[in-house]
Amino acid sequence: MALMAASTSSSSPSTKLPLSVYKYSSYSYSYVPENVLNDNPSDQSSRWSSDSNNPPQYLMLKLERPAIVESIKFGKYEKTHVCNLKKFKVYGGLTEDHLIEILDSGLKNDHIPESFPVRNTIDGNNFPCRYVKIMPIQAWGPSFNFSIWSVELHGVDDWHRVKACMNWYNTYREREAIRLCLKHFRQRHYMEAFQELSKKTKVSLEHPLLTELHDSLVLRGEYEKCEDVVRRACQEGLFDQYISQQDYKPIWTPIQPVSNNKEPHSDTRPGMRGGHQMCIDVNSETIYLFGGWDGNVDLADFWAYHVPTHEWSCLSKNAEEDGGPSARSCHKMCLDPERKQIFALGRYLDPSMRSATILKCDFYMYDIMSERWTLITDDTHSMGGPQLIFDHQMAIDTDQQTIYIFGGRVLASPTEAERNNQDQQFSGLFSFHVPTNTWTKLLDDCAQLRSRIGHSMLFHPVKRVLYIFAGQRAKEYLNDFLAYHVDTGTIEVVSDGTNKESCQAGFTQRATIDPDLNEIHVLSGLSRDKDKRDNVKNSFWVYEINRDKWSCIYKNENTGQQYWIKMQHIEPVPRFAHQLVYDHKRKKHYLFGGNPGKDSLPKMRLDDFWSLQLLRPSQKFLLRKCCFLIRKYHFLELACSDSCAAMSFLQTQVYGTIDKEDKEECEEFQLLTTNLFKAYAAGDTSLMEGETPEYFSQRTELFDKLASFFPETMTQPKGNLIDMIPIDG
């Protein structure tokens, strides 16, 4: 489900839309389609059921009046049911033959009705539907027929509003149709038809700058002027949208901190460890690191790394001695950059150390300015907060000075665990309001928000949402992706984990959020579970929140020891129990330490320190590419008429634009010479009526390539008319 909520103007209230069943693929026995119009959760027979699961199966509803559909609600049977729809799509439109996809989702196999916002905008404008088609794709029971128990559509059918949308939608389609024609005619050099159509419809094909580019390039062959236009466009930032849509490339840099002390692994920088915690103050560009496990003992040292000066400073050799938390690992920390405060909560305790007397969860605050630790409480549970937990998550809402804590395993004494009659107990969702020192339990471990360990939780300060995903619960790896709206307490299922296109995060991923770019970054770690077939060792994923889209920008599946020794200064070896923090202002990640999971050296921990930048092609890079393209086509045109001039142009002008380090580009350049010796009809430029010159289609090809770098709102349509011709002969 996309995170973008369906939007309609708030002026018209959403109502239940009257509808009827219009068409269907099949039904079995008495499970007629009309049953979906009634919601009888206790009646086993009150449903539509297809007569097989052979695709395509569908149910088409017709609204009594055209409406802007905002959501679709599915009722269910009072128990789980194998015929429930695990996966389905919904299409909508004004005519039954021209529907667009408005939802791609699935139902939980339970008895709780579910409601989904549906897509109802094109280009930011609402479009109306008359027909809504539900297409079951998968049932929960793999060999069972599809059943739908009840369906409601909600939205706006106020005629005044709908009519306006219909007018807009018709105008939109009309305009897009004309733009496709204009593009086609210009490509084919039907200039008179192009002009008459432009004149009559007043529809513009593109931004005037692109028309200028087209005319100088395609009509007049002024290649130099064309370079000018491109240079100007690049300078004006017109290529930035294109650049922002390009894949990131990850650049890892090992950080060698400045140190007066030449002895390695001395006290001037933190030693090897895993299960430590880090947080970053993006204002002062300082990274804080506390505790961890060095392979033998828990640590209590506390460090700060100042990015601009590349310097580590040790704030405490033993924080406990300075009034701070004792040595520990698997705790969590968060930082309030406004008030310069660091909070720390939770820890792992070896089973041998779990006696009831010490199973309290202490909670510390470190004040950066005064360099002092404060024990907020020695037992959060007694204050209404969580019990002693580890492998939980912690995130701070700086504006509201509220800390959220979710998940983690509750450390209970053996006797207590026995009393509760359960192996593992997981902690729910808590909030802590800093100014009033108030704990609130928001949710227990429950079906809606299943607790877990080793998950990721990130707070988006603008959307005011906690993103929670992945993690483990006993032997189960969770793949769901949830959004908890902190102000309303509602939970949104971003993904139920069945979508294989998303990051298959396990237990050891590390995630960060960029609230400006609306991106979540996930570095997958080494799987702790040796039995889990996990081919991907190091991979980096980006989730674009607004587009609800995952992309893997980097994968390294190498596992050989030799390989990673060779790579030790180039890329971090796969690991777990490491830490990753993100400076969203400078768009830089920092990674420190962890457990490389070496069978031969189980106690080995790492102390390497890396920065990671995600880079996209620069303006400069793109501009050079454009110039190379332009000169390449210029050369190809020259080569047809004047081999000599072309040769010289190739050697100077084209050569000047290539990146000599780029092997592929150099090869492409070398291949260009072969065009010098192709036979062409001598420079006869007179043309028959209706014929387009040879160079025209080549120049058009170049123009289309260059146009693709401009924002879509400025350019001719992407599609081509001839690709839309239906083939049904």
Residues interacting with its own copies, by CB under 8 A? 26, 29, 51-55, 87, 95, 97-98, 100, 121-124, 137-138, 142-143, 173-174, 176-177, 180-181, 184-185, 190, 192-193, 195-197, 199-202, 498, 500, 533, 690, 719, 721-727, 729
Q: How far apart are CA 69 and CA 24, in angstroms?
A: 20
Instruction: Tell the smallest beta-carbon distance from residue 49 to its own copies (Å).
Output: 14
Identity of residue 346: G
Q: How far apart are CA 593 and CA 292, in angstroms?
A: 10
H/E run at residue 623: helix 619-641
Instruction: Tell the smallest beta-carbon distance from residue 534 to its own copies (Å).
Output: 12
Instruction: Tell the smallest beta-carbon distance from residue 274 to its own copies (Å).
Output: 30
Residue with tokens 């695709």: 55
Instruction: Tell the smallest beta-carbon distance from residue 716 to its own copies (Å).
Output: 14
Residue with tokens 């406004």: 338
Q: How far apart are CA 653 and CA 641, in angstroms?
A: 17
Instruction: Tell the smallest beta-carbon distance from residue 535 to its own copies (Å).
Output: 9
Instruction: Tell the smallest beta-carbon distance from residue 723 to its own copies (Å).
Output: 5
Strand extents, DSSP E, 567-658? 579-583, 588-594, 606-615
Nearer Cβ to its own copies, position 34 or 174? 174
Question: Token pair of 199, please?
Answer: 């004149």
Instruction: Tell the smallest beta-carbon distance from residue 88 to its own copies (Å).
Output: 11
Nearer Cβ to its own copies, position 176 or 379? 176
- Nearest 5°: the CA angle 35, 491, 6 is 65
Contacts of 617 (CB under 8 A, 6+ apart): 243, 246, 625
3-state secondary structure 693-726: CHHHHHHHHHHHHHHCCCCCCCCCCCCCHHHHCC
Nearer Cβ to its own copies, position 444 or 501? 501
Instruction: Tell the smallest beta-carbon distance from residue 57 to its own copies (Å).
Output: 10
Instruction: Tell the smallest beta-carbon distance from residue 218 to its own copies (Å).
Output: 17
8 A C-beta contact, residue 541 and residue 475:
no
Nearer Cβ to its own copies, position 104 or 665? 104
Nearer Cβ to its own copies, position 208 or 726? 726
Nearer Cβ to its own copies, position 124 or 264? 124
Nearer Cβ to its own copies, position 199 or 663? 199
Helices and strands counted in the chain (H then E)? 11, 40
Instruction: Tell the smallest beta-carbon distance from residue 139 to its own copies (Å).
Output: 10
8 A C-beta contact, residue 709 and residue 200:
no
Q: How far apart are CA 119 and CA 547, in angstroms?
A: 13
For 378-411, b/e burial (b = at least 16 CB within 10 A) is: eebbebebbbbbbbbbbbbbbeebbbbbbbbbbb
Question: In terms of C-beta density within 10 A (0-12 exposed, 13-18 middle, 19 or more buried), how is residue 566 classed?
Answer: exposed
H/E run at residue 462: none
Q: Name the strands in the sheet holding 519-524, side by side, starting at the edge strand that comes first in the sequence.
A: 510-514, 519-524, 538-544, 549-556
Instruction: Tell the smallest beta-carbon distance from residue 51 to its own copies (Å).
Output: 7
Nearer Cβ to its own copies, position 137 or 553? 137
* Distances in whole angstroms, Cα of residue 583 to Cα of each of 49, 279, 281: 53, 10, 8
Nearer Cβ to its own copies, position 193 or 376? 193
Nearer Cβ to its own copies, position 70 or 281? 70
